[in-house]
Chains A and B, each alone.
Chain A
Amino acid sequence: MAGTITEKIFSARCGQEVTAGEVVMAPISGAMIHDITGPLAIEKFYEMGGEKVFDPAKVIMLFDHQVPADSLNAAEIQKNMRLFAKEQGIHNYDIREGVCHQVTLEKGRVCPGDIVIGSDSHTCMYGAVGAFATGVGSTDMGFALRYGCLYFRVPESIRADVTGKFQKRVGAKDLILNIIKDITVDGATYKAVEFTGDTMGSMNMAGRMTCCNMAIEMGGKAGIVPPDQVTTEYLSGRCTCRDEVLVSDPDAVYTSWRTFDVSDLVPQVAVPHNVDQVVDVTDIAGTPVDQVFIGSCTNGRFEDLQEAAEVLGDKKFSDSVRVLVIPASKDEYLKALRAGIIEQFVKAGALVEAPCCGPCMGGSFGLIASGEVSFSTSNRNFKGRQGSAEGKVYLGSAATAAATAVQGEITDPREVR
């Protein structure tokens, strides 16, 4: 029977043909826990009578949300998780590597065709390598750690077919914001969003990650890009994967099939307080900002930092803006260091922090005060997300963020010379 890539992944891993709508108990190829949701998952694992995790080699642990420990509570949590990792024989990346999703992919912990869960909603990012990946809560994670499998309702899929060539300084972030505007914040609830078309095919892995990362912002259970040559090149040297190639059949069934042409797409910005409140940058250009954050699992990769640096050139960031640059991982940090980009940012007046989530979810440092405005390359602009509930968060690409940081107000990156 014809199937989507998602249906085929579930069929392959479950060893029986399944279609969208069916509820299956599926084996887990990988399970990621971090410092925020991990402790509760471990507690649930024990409450369910767990002694040894199903397979320590398949568990990915790291700390990124509150690192280095920014409170006594965070320190205690991390201490307990370290102990758990040691007892269980789980490799713990600890605070050394960066943001969970970036690190999980970089370390080759996800292969095409895998079913991977993480106790974090942006786990859907791993769909960038053609895996089915979804965020779960701590109790589900506790169950999976104990039994190595989890219940899933095999999701229906929405197909987003993307064609056309991006204008200069327009890219994956603008595309995904535009897609979310179209599908809306709950338009993909319970569904997988499959990104296809020539534009996706020629997009690098960094861009694919940005797109899949934000599938959850439409309510999506997963985002997925069919694996191809770009995927193979990214994975080579990182992991050895199965030989199977799972992609959707031409006559697979989708609940909806949307098409996007990026040729005329201009930089997009999500305005407060919902991710589908998306406008052209030209509509809000001139809005003053207090803080610019370039980083997160959405846009903290080398490619993003490079894009921002290109817009920055030899200019300085505006004195009226606090600029925080946080690479998504150690590897991305090193790439940027070697390219001289970090020095460029520091000279221009940015605060460059070690890889972590930073102000993305308002849990750690870099919070905004009441009445303040943040322009952020991350994925959520909810009320209070980056600090005060009386603050405002705008979302856009690294290029738009850099242009905004230079001018001190929201600025079209195409206008900056």
Chain B
Amino acid sequence: MRVWKFGDNIDTDAIIPGRFLTINDSKELAAHAFEGIRDEFSKEAKQGDIIVAGSNFGCGSSREHAPLALKGAGVQMVVAKSFARIFYRNSINVGLLPVICIQASEISEKDSLVPHTGEGYLEVSGKKMPVEPVPDFLQRIIDAGGLVAYAKTIRSEDLCIK
């Protein structure tokens, strides 16, 4: 498992450039993730890798292709100081875990990172770093494995149209 470190304001154009948006398959998208920004990512990223970033990760476009490309590359979670709103929600919907950790900037690519998000912390080279709890309704979507799976469990009385 490798930690990929990024800075602040990583936008969705950086994660997956506009010219690849006619692709909808996550594996194919992954081949272009961070193209022109960090070319070794698509070649070297492996199943279970973790992205660690600063503030406002995923700002910009609403393209769900961004979390899908990361998921396709094998990324299991993105740890950031803060997330842009649409990316955060899209990630949860497609089953890529976004984790808010105020101390994210202190994590380096050399650290060993063991997530214990269920218990509310990350183990970073033996040190505990707290992560922010996820709002209840989002946790239910995460637990279901994404919005598609969750949608199948909702009761009609929870909806606006019966």
Contact = CB atoms under 8 A, between A and B. Distances in A.
A39 interface: yes
B90 interface: yes
B102 to A, nearest CB: 14
B137 A274 contact: no
A382 B21 contact: no
A138 B65 CA distance: 9
- Most interface-central of B55, B82, B148 (chain A CB within 10 A): B148
A143 B151 contact: yes
Interface residues of A, number: 58
Given A25-B159, A40-B24, A219-B56, A140 B93 contact: yes
A157 B160 CA distance: 25
B63 interface: yes
Contacts of B17: 362, 384, 389
Nearest to A379: B60
B59 to A, nearest CB: 6
Given A74-B22, A143-B147, A382-B14, 7 more contacts: A137-B63, A137-B64, A139-B93, A146-B151, A189-B56, A380-B60, A385-B13
Interface residues of B, number: 43
Contacts of A148: 159-161
A149 interface: yes
A360 B56 CA distance: 22
B37 interface: yes
A49 B152 contact: yes
Interface of B: 9, 11, 13-14, 17-19, 21-24, 35-37, 55-56, 59-65, 82, 84-86, 89-90, 93-94, 135-137, 146-148, 151-152, 158-161
Nearest to A367: B19
B59 A120 contact: no
A197 interface: no
Contacts of B62: 37, 119-121, 123, 135-137
A274 to B, nearest CB: 6
A366 to B, nearest CB: 12
6 contacts: A48-B152, A137-B89, A140-B93, A147-B160, A151-B137, A362-B19
Nearest to B136: A23
Nearest to B23: A73
Contacts of B147: 44, 48, 139-140, 142-143
A44 B93 CA distance: 10
A389 B84 contact: no
A406 interface: no
B117 to A, nearest CB: 20
B49 to A, nearest CB: 22
Contacts of B24: 39-40, 43
A136 B56 CA distance: 17
B26 to A, nearest CB: 11
